Structure 1
Amino acid sequence: MTDSATLRQAILDRVAALRAGTTCCPSEIARALAKDWRPLMDDVRAAAAELCDQGEITVTQGGEPVDARTAKGPIRLGLPAA
């Protein structure tokens, strides 16, 4: 099991490495943390929601802001607009 602090840091590290204006899929973070990554997806989304609440990242779906806790389907993570 991966703890919340590790998930949060992995998200921040991945998003910080993005080119300006680009986003990543939460599965990229999960895949980087575990060979069997699918069980991590709910935890990655929860950590992303917390980071979004704190203004550290953005969570979007179809280019529009969404709540990672309630969004159905694929979401994207990115840096907040400067």
Structure 2
Amino acid sequence: MTDSERQVDRLLEKAILELLEQRGPGRTICPSDAARAVYGGDDDGWRGLMEPARRAARRLVTAGEVEITQRGRPVEPTEARGPIRIRRVTR
């Protein structure tokens, strides 16, 4: 992994946490929200950050910061297929 890729990974993790903070307790975001925030452009270039955003969410699950949901229910990151949402872990 290059330094540039590691930097993007950190930016995606930060974006996920910041977006969730802005949305408030119990609210969710889509990985595309973080990808768009990090990409910052007006075109579809953010789509290339979708898989890195999903990986960032999985790392944050491992760190105990967030959970990944499908149809409103938490799912194991390794079992999630298709659209996912991300929300803060309630403590």
- TM-score tier by shorter-chain length is 0.7 to 0.9
In the superposition, the TM-score normalised over structure 1's length comes to 0.87
Identical aligned residues as a percent: 39
Specify every segment of 5 or more residues in structure 1 that has no aligned partner in the other structure, as ranges. none
Contiguous gaps of at least 5 residues in structure 2: none
Q: How far off is 1:4 after superposition?
A: 1.3
Runs of 4+ that moved beyond 4 A: none
Whose Rg is larger?
Answer: 2
**Larger mean Cα displacement after TM superposition, 36-45 or 70-79:** 70-79
Between the two proteins, the alignment pairs up a number of residues equal to: 82
Q: CA deviation at 1:70?
A: 4.0
TM-score, normalising length from structure 2? 0.79
Higher relative CO (Cα under 8 Å, sequence separation at least 6) belongs to: 1
What is the Cα-based RMSD across aligned positions, in Å?
Answer: 1.6
The 5 A counterparts of 1:1-82 are: 3-34=8-39, 35=41, 36-82=45-91
